[in-house]
Amino acid sequence: MNTAEFVQPQGAAQAVAEAAAAATASNERRSSSASHFSKNYREAFIVNDGSVWKFHGIPVMNDITGADITDLVGLSILILVLMFKKRLFPKVNKENPISIWIAALCVSIPLYQVIWVPFLATALMTRVSYQHLICISHCIVACCCYRSEVEQRSISHKKQLLSDSGDESSTATTGTTPTRSFPSTFGLSFVTWGFGGSLLSDVLMGLPITAVAHTRIVPSFILGYFVVWYSPYDCVYRTFNDDKSSLLFTFLNLIEAIDGVTTPMGRVSRSARELQNKMSAPLTAGMLVGVGGAIIRYFERVIVQGREEQEHASSLAALQAGIWRNLFYCILWWYLAVYRCLPKDSGDDFTVTVDLEKADHCRSFDGSDDVRFIIVLTYSIWTILCQWGVVRRHPFVWFAEVVIVPTWSRLVTILNLGPEAQPSSSSSFIESSSPVNGVHHNNLKEKEH
């Protein structure tokens, strides 16, 4: 059945065919136990007549192998220049690295067919598939963040030992590479930085555990783990961790932004499809997958390891910022993708107009492609601006800190609600200068998917 013709069947034979098609579609969606549902995301964007699906006239394909040779050569030159910009432009790269990226942005405009069109396709394809590019990039970032945290912990521990022994002459910043114990480092990085939010959301919501059932996640994480811990000369981790203006860090940062904002959206849509409660359940699932990893990290740092009080405040502030940010995104996506598609009368079935089905994909609660692209684009721009140090806090977090929290505090004070308020050192939100850098005390991202 054509998804655009989303109407009630008129005859018994058509009803049987309708039910069979719906069952087949449901099985295909559930077989891909992530928040994305197509077995082959390329097939999902091929129209019945064999032509490529287009987004406002732009072909939604991220395969650049068939692009013009001139564009491919230009892309290769641009990549090489950005990879070796420290040697080509040492003074500019040290004093004003943003100018190099602005110049690269201008150069990329004529190369839109091999740069911006694939970015558009990657953003839109998150509706139907957890692509290898996004999955592997997220796994690499997760392993880098966990390893960086372990090294920072090793440095702090070594400094404490030197301080206790009275030996202040030795350095505490060298030789801090942690022991590469595969079972522990792999498992902890998978849960705390990788897919802890997905695990927590699936377990609490009673859904299939996607992090271990999906065919791409575990193999991609194994690949990302070995790339981070066993790359030649440790080049991947050192480039990611030591040079925040490098091409590798910027690329992974951008892909991580796409994953970070679309994962709660996908979980909201998935819960609306698979659970009867389409009001609070999608919002809860989206929030759990968005901040579940931060909750696990806070529990591990504060409860299990009993870190110092300063780190408690930083972890809690980062968790609070993540909660506000994901809450606004989940509410926005739930309203646009789920609520607008629900029947207005309790006796109605999911019968929507042809136009609404085409625009919002109401059958699967996948939302509008236009809205998805706008959300991904704005979040990606904010991510890059954070990396450049132009902005610090997300607008949603700023709105919560400046408007919601003070308004609620005044209301509580005026109405004398609850016990007398006590001053707290962690009352303000601490937002990272980059969603991949994380809180300032350990230079890590505090964002989970």
Supply the pLDDT for residue 179. 57
Supply the pLDDT for residue 84. 92
Which amino acid, residue 399?
A: F
Supply the pLDDT for residue 1. 36
Helices 309-333 and 247-274, interaxial angle, to 10°?
60
Angstrom distance (rounded) from CA 187 to CA 198:
14
Place of tokens 């996948």: 366
Give me the residues paired with residue 58 across strands.
Answer: 55
Supply the pLDDT for residue 408. 92
Angstrom distance (rounded) from CA 34 to CA 128:
10
Residue 113 contacts residue 71 (beta carbons within 8 Å): yes
Angstrom distance (rounded) from CA 358 to CA 91:
52
Residue 435 contacts residue 253 (beta carbons within 8 Å): yes
Supply the pLDDT for residue 307. 62
Which amino acid, residue 258?
A: I
Supply the pLDDT for residue 166. 65
**pTM of the model as a whole:** 0.80
Residue 413 contacts residue 287 (beta carbons within 8 Å): no
Angstrom distance (rounded) from CA 109 to CA 125:
22
Q: Could you tell me the mean pLDDT of each successive run of 10 residues in the chain, 449 residues long? A: 37 43 38 40 50 78 85 95 91 88 94 92 90 94 92 78 63 53 85 93 91 91 95 93 89 94 94 91 95 88 67 79 94 94 63 59 89 95 90 91 93 84 51 44 41
pLDDT, tens only, 96-118: 888 999 999 999 999 999 999 99
Name which of 291, 257, 281 is nearest 365 in CA terms.
Answer: 281
Supply the pLDDT for residue 25. 40
Structure tokens that stand for 171 in this block:
């350095």
Which amino acid, residue 408?
A: W
Angstrom distance (rounded) from CA 126 to CA 69:
28
Place of tokens 């959206």: 265
133-152: buried (b, 16+ CB within 10 Å) or exposed (e) per residue?
bbbbbbbbbbbbbbbbbbbe
Dihedral pair phi/psi, residue 59, rounded to 5°:
-60, 130
> Other C-beta atoms within 10 Å of 380: how many?
20
Residue 30 contacts residue 274 (beta carbons within 8 Å): yes
Structure tokens that stand for 205 in this block:
């919501």
Angstrom distance (rounded) from CA 213 to CA 198:
11
Place of tokens 């981070």: 228
The number of residues in the chain equals: 449
